[in-house]
Chain A
Amino acid sequence: MWVVGSVCCREDVSWALIYQFVFDHLRAVPPVRQDLCVQGIREEGLGVLQAAVRFYVYAQYRTCEHDLCDFDPYLNMKHLAETLSLVITLYRESTKENTAVKSRNICGGEDISSFVQCDTCDRKSDDSDSESDDVNESKITQDAVASEKVNSASKGAPESEGSAGTDMTRNVTEERGKRCESDEGSEGSGSSDPCKNTTTTITVMVESGEGMEEEQEEQQEREQQRREREKKDKEEEQERREREKKDKEEQEKREEQQKREREKKDKEEEQEKRKEQEGKGEDKEEEWQKRERKREKLRCEMLKYSPREEAEALNLLVNFGQAEAIMHVLKLPREIRESRLVWTSLQMNLTWLNNNYHRILRLAPLLPTLCLMAIYYHLTTVQRRALSILSCGHSSRGGLMYSGEDLAASLRFPSITTLLDMKTTRVDWIDERLASTVCRWEIFYFLQVKIYCSGWQGEPTTDSAFSCFINRSEVVPR
């Protein structure tokens, strides 16, 4: 770590010499791995290997302009790939050890380890939800049982008292009337008025034996009943009228609301039309600003990554487009796979399967500097393929109908001059220039990239010249 950290920061010696020195020292690292694992100091070993990976990635970018005698890109890439696969294997083994230890310590399988697959996690979460639902359901059933008991008690009391006797029946009617009122929820009706059903079924039992008095009493009672019925009918009519009024009022309210909503929509449409008439540029600016804010957020989120996430993302970007790397990441635990950095790198790989160059070139600036250095090697291939697709898709009668500046912007070149270096815009000529290896050196020479390293704890460093290449971002150092 001292070699990589302090030696690399020296500016009195040429970078070529520094690279050779560090490269020779790092060649001793992989055979030490077995000893590190046996001795149980795996974390330190991982740290050393990961620092080596960062060095190779950085050197791959920094030294791309140098001659073959100073820097062999093939050897560097080979060592990078080997060290990276070692790091990934070590992380995988430590993950399996952790799961084995946790499964031994767990009783009854209630505790969930962080590396259990999503299916079991979902099942566990479903179980926990079902447990809480069971608790709620038990409460509900208890409440229901209690209410049933109350109802049965209240119903049973009048039934048990019997049907004989006027006083008893009147009491029954009053109680039933009260219950009916509480069931209906109606307010303002007298407590003495019984429900319809109960009045039809209830019969007053009279036990007197005298005839005429009984008849008069009966007539009086019948008249009372008629009056009561008439009163009820009137009240029902009043209730009906009140309900109709309420319904009408509600309908009117709804119609008013709908009118207001229509008016609002019309206003909004008018505003939109005005905006369109005023100028689409303003909308575009607003949209661009929104996107920039979103990207800024994403960029900040992407700076927060663990060493494992960095290693997995670098693996994806160094082996860009390779099915094995993508399948390996797809089988990772969800929390690592769905971290912002790994997710973005995975999306770039998956969209490349469908040749969606635009999304790759749009996502690339969001990456931290180290990851950008890992992917730059493949960006030329992406740009070359993009140019051939554009030339096929936009060509009309044999010519590429595409503005030069827009072309440079969409392919993430600083300007059209770096793309062309000539005045003509013939696609064939551009394609030939891009196909040659000289073009790449010219681009970076023009950019005059200067990158200063400051420590090897994953802190990104940038220079403004880099932003020309990525065209938008300024990676915020930690």
Chain B
Amino acid sequence: MKVHLEVHDIHPVLSFQVSLLDLADITEEGVTFQSPADGKPMLLTPEESIRIQNKIGADIIMALDDVVRTTITGPRMEEAMYRTLRWIDRCIAAHERPDAQNLFGIVQGGVDPILRDICVRGLVERNLPGYAIGGLAGGEDKDSFWRVVAQCTAALPADKPRYVMGVGYPLDIVVCSALGADMYDCVYPTRTARFGTALIPEGVLKLKHNAMASDERPIDSTCTCMVCKKYTRAYLHYLVTKDPMGSQLLSYHNLSYMMRLSQNLHMSIVEGRFPQFVQGFLRIQFPKGDVPKWVCNAMEVAGIDISSCCSPIH
């Protein structure tokens, strides 16, 4: 069972999502899975999940949802969406600290716009403090992914936070932000660090590559993090994937990158130059102008003109 717990900053945000389980038995009662501690079957009900989160005391807590892979089609998807709505009522009923802890509902429905619509309406009726867009970041094609996000952000209340779970790649974050999303979580920056991959404005830098062994430059000359101020690609090449310190240093840089991306994106909105920020971001990532079609489509819906970044062929 993968239980994602994130705590960040001064306001601990705890997300408790049964995300895309490999082995789980899901019934109306709850989710039965193998306990990571002793392998015995454990039942997690909506009530139990809220009870635990009430105890942990996070500022934002998540409903227990019935989530299935977006690649699944058929009645199971519909069942999961309706069950998510039934479970949100059980979560709301079980929540003992609504004054101190904000319960976010999670929109499910796969890539089916009709199911998503029903789910959004159902959650909005419950007038929750915030909404998560779940069930994505699981291997669905990019075109379906952005359309679901766009549909949800259009239908969810404007004055409440919209949290896209499991996103993600820097490009995905820029696109989802353009579409009106507010919050994200993802293992990508640290996980990719453990595999020796650094995040840079151009995309990624694979430090295990032979060329890195004698490269005395920092990971990213525009980055002001501790790792980029102190260490060369050459030294890091010999640490990453082999020594825990390599993972630490690279994770440090990747997280700095994500924070800087987030800060720059934020400021560009505040200062009224978000389209320019997007154009700048895309130009560095796609210097030949080969911006993926799905990004172009999404930006069109988001009302952001990126024609200057796309070469005529694409």
A and B pair up: no
